[in-house]
Chain A
Amino acid sequence: NAGVTQTPKFRILKIGQSMTLQCTQDMNHNYMYWYRQDPGMGLKLIYYSVGAGITDKGEVPNGYNVSRSTTEDFPLRLELAAPSQTSVYFCASETNRDSNQPQHFGDGTRLSIL
């Protein structure tokens, strides 16, 4: 029972490099989310998707891009890594817009930009 799977778990990047954080879920959930977690700040929404082919910006989208070509996958792209993007990134999914149901989270990707 995999749930939400994120790869890699850890990554160190140099300023200006690019990378893609992978997220896949096997629960056939329509809604998927990317959050970043900074110390003492809770989680902030970067991007979200309500289904394959549909994505939109969250609270802190600058410096990131996403795509949703399939229901299962929701990768997050950093084009020009900056030190301010050092954070822990979490992907989450939920089945529909029922606010009584919880979001399911992956284990996170810890990213350092040096």
Chain B
Amino acid sequence: GDSVTQMEGPVTLSEEAFLTINCTYTATGYPSLFWYVQYPGEGLQLLLKATKADDKGSNKGFEATYRKETTSFHLEKGSVQVSDSAVYFCALPSNAGGTSYGKLTFGQGTILTVHP
């Protein structure tokens, strides 16, 4: 079945450091790929998405490129801020057993803490 694997966490960085959070996936076909972010005490929000191979999603300085060859969708940011401290989830929509609902399969989440 479909699955998403994220890098082990947590990740602790100093402000203005470079961030990479790895995400690889196993899926049938070429689904859209998402990064969701969860700030403390809040629900998940869509951070960015890519809908086909070689697409680059971007938002709030974060970027991720849909790599079909390596089945990866790594999240990057050139200079993190304290306000980026959150939990980040890689996800893909998948059909289980041919059903038509839009189930999301999530990675386990990566906790990011940014210090001043």
**A-B pairs with beta carbons under 8 A, tally:** 61
Query: Residue-by-residue, is A72-108 near B (CB-CB < 8 Å gives 1, otherwise 0)?
Result: 0000000000000000001010100111101101111
Smallest Cβ-Cβ distance to A6: which chain B residue: B43
Identify which of A6, A43, A105 gathers the most chain B CB atoms within 10 Å of its CB.
Answer: A43
Docked Cα-Cα span, A3 to B111, in Å, equals: 25
**CB neighbours of B32 from chain A (8 A):** 99-100
Contacts of A92 in B (CB 8 A): 44, 104
- Which chain B residues lie closer than 8 Å to A94 at the CB level? 102
What are the residues of chain B within 8 A of A42 when measuring CB–CB?
4, 89, 106-109
Check A102–B46 contact: CB distance below 8 A.
yes
**A107, B102: Cβ atoms closer than 8 Å:** no
Enumerate B70-110 residues with CB–CB distance to A below 8 Å: 89, 93, 99-104, 106-109
